Amino acid sequence: MLFNSFLFLLIFLPVTLGVHYLLGALRPRLAALWLCVASIVFYGWWNPQFVVLLGGSIAFNYLVSLVILALAGRPRLQLLATALGVAADLLLLVHYKYFAAMVNFVHDMGLAIGPMDTLILPLGISFFTFTQIGYLLDCRAGTVNDRSPLSYVLFVTFFPHLIAGPILHHKEMMPQFSKRESYRFHSDNLSVGGMLFAIGLAKKVLLADSIAPYADAGFAATGQVQFWGAWAAATSYALQLYFDFSGYSDMALGLARMFGIRFPLNFNSPYKATSIIDFWARWHITLTRYITAYLYYPVAMAVSRWRSRGGLPNGPGAVATANGFASLIVLPTVWAMGLAGIWHGAGLQFLIFGLLHAGYLVVNHAWRIFGNGRKPGAQRGGRLQHVACLLLTFGAVLVAQAFFRADGVADAWQLVQGMAGVRGWESLGNLGHLGGLGLADGWRLLVGHHLQAAYIAAMLAIVWLAPNAHQIMGVYGASLAKPDPAPRPWMRWQPNVGWLLAMLVLLALCLLNLHKETRFLYFQF
């Protein structure tokens, strides 16, 4: 079931909300149980057989968590139980996401095995698996306090985050699911959540789905596009991904708030970032947090302990040396981002995507530590410097996203070559023919009018000049993050008739444009 479907909007959501608050007024635990059932129905609507997989994963991980907690006084056995639980989760993920790709790779090497058709990927398997791995690791770390099985099941299955995140942390969510107040009706939950959901739905239906055909056409013929056509295709996909994932994140936050729950902020205008470090602090924030806590820091700490045993220095002074920088910054960054790339898919192009971002981050850190970035006032430059840093960051992201989107490394490399002008630059008098892409007159808006260029210009203006949903909601924000109100009062949501009409107009426009159900891009991960 999709958020952007008539079934969800007109039947599932109203019924689930109504029963939730009816039961919440009678007995909160029944409301929590109802949310679990509704979430499982939501998940199983696409393919009921995977409900068994989800239920088995939840039961297994909860039992393992109890074993880990029971072995608190026996660290070696506790480590073994944790390792076995995490290994089982990873094997499940590898089976569905990577096994067929590995078999086909071995077959392509000439060995007598395969080929094998790609397995149907259960929706949200990466998200509910990572959520539970984090819970197991925190059980071993002794940071888990709420052990209620009902809260745990709801923590994993709560439908607003189940398919594509955000990746939740038990310390933020399980206490909310245990509070009676979370199940009581409050009108502000519906008004705030409804507005945020409408903004997210508009991003998906009116913006992401509108630019998607141009991105698809460009990536279908990566070997034919020249300079402007390649940049048009890359930018179109970047905007599709931005509004698709930003829209989903807003809808997830809004839906959670309708049920009295606050999610962590997961998307905060990443294309406004002026460095790659800043970009990853804004893009898929909960994934960045997860990568940092469970991939980056463990390796960094292990390296730090190894250096201490060898008598080598640690700390800020150590990273300013070539050896310290390589071991304390480069190694954990390449490890963490390489695995983050592989998490997105089984193809080599996803590994390259992760390693490209690792390289960007290393250069960014090196600039801060060794270059002008460490000089007083270097981070404060004028507006021109700000724009230059923003465009440089955005361009680097576009190159990496070419590998993220393309069907393979060869296609991605062809697009990058086009972006570099290897196949030439379309002249202003012949901007339209992009090698038979079907993107006729693709950048001729510079001298006339073309729909794709108009979409790109309008969407970039929204991305760079308009406040995001978190800023629009301001002090009424639905997330756990600190409020960040829009700079001007008229941009900030208020509980009044004007904003109610704005929400109803957005919803009406979205319903009029729901000609077909389109999946969110992150569903495939």
- Tokens 């026996």 -> residue: 74
Instruction: Please tell me the predicted confidence (pLDDT) of residue 99.
Output: 76
How much is the pLDDT for 425? 81
Q: What are the structure tokens assigned to 254, written together? A: 């809004």
1 pLDDT higher than 70: yes
Measured at the CA of 24, the angle between CA 19 and CA 26, to 5 degrees, comes to: 100
Using alpha carbons, list the distances in angstroms from residue 155 to 127, 174, 391.
Answer: 12, 6, 39
Q: What is the pLDDT of residue 113?
A: 65
> Taking Cα atoms as reference points, which of 332, 28, 342, 293 lies closest to residue 170?
293
pLDDT of residue 65: 95
- 3-class SS at 240? helix
Instruction: Average the pLDDT over 247-270 and give the result.
Output: 95
**Preceding omega of 28 cis (within 30 degrees of 0):** no
Identify the residue whose tokens are 């990577």: 98
* pTM of the complete model: 0.89
Nearest to 113 by CA among 102, 99, 103, 98: 103
In which band, very low, low, confident or very high, does the pLDDT at 77 lie, cut at 50, 70 and 90? very high
Run of H or E residues at 16: helix 13-26
Q: Average pLDDT in the 340-353 region?
A: 89
7-38: pLDDT as tens digits? 999 999 999 999 999 999 999 999 999 999 99
Predicted pLDDT at 438: 44
pLDDT at 237: 96
Active site residue 344: yes
Which pLDDT does position 409 carry in this prediction?
Answer: 94
Residue 379, pLDDT above cutoff 60: no
Distances (CA, A) of 6 to 196, 240, 283, 363, 512: 18, 22, 29, 47, 11
Taking the C-alpha atoms of residue 470 and residue 382, their distance in angstroms, rounded to an integer, is: 26
What's 45's DSSP letter?
T
Q: Which H helix or E strand runs over 31?
A: helix 28-44
- CB burial of residue 21 (10 Å; 0-12, 13-18, 19+): buried
Residue 453 pLDDT class (50, 70, 90 cuts): confident
pLDDT at 118 over 50: yes
Better pLDDT: 179 or 113: 179
pLDDT value at 246 more than 60: yes
Mean pLDDT, rounded, of the chain: 88
Q: Which of 20, 344, 357, 470 is catalytic?
A: 344
* Mean pLDDT value across residues 166-174: 89
Section 137-156 average pLDDT? 89
- Non-local (6+) Cβ contacts of 176 within 8 A are 182, 260, 261, 262
Please name the amino acid found at residue 382.
G
* pLDDT over 80 (residue 119): no
Q: What is the mean pLDDT of residues 223-243?
A: 93
Q: With 50 as the cut, is the pLDDT of residue 173 above it?
A: yes
Listing DSSP states for 383-448 in one string gives HHHHHHHHHHHHHHHHHHHHHHHSSSHHHHHHHHHHHTTTT----GGG-S--TT-S-TTTTGGGTS
Of 261 and 46, the one with more pLDDT: 261
Q: Are 326 and 336 in contact (CB under 8 A)?
A: no
pLDDT of residue 125: 86
**pLDDT exceeds cutoff 60 at 375:** no
pLDDT, position 448: 33
pLDDT (0 to 100) of residue 439: 43
Tell me which of 119-128, 170-179, 453-462 is least confident: 119-128
- 489 has pLDDT over 80: yes
Mean pLDDT of 51-75: 94
Residue 445 has pLDDT above 50, yes or no: no
Minimum mean pLDDT among 154-168, 357-371, 426-440, 447-461: which range? 426-440
Share of the chain above pLDDT 90, in %: 66
Q: How confident is the model at residue 449 (pLDDT cuts 50, 70, 90)?
A: very low
Give the residue, 116 or 31, on which the prediction is more confident: 31
**pLDDT-above-70 percentage for the chain:** 89
DSSP state, 222? T
Residue with tokens 């991960």: 525
- pLDDT of amino acid 234: 96
Lowest mean pLDDT among 83-87, 168-172, 242-246, 444-448: 444-448
For residues 249 and 262, what is the distance between their CA atoms, to the nearest angstrom? 12
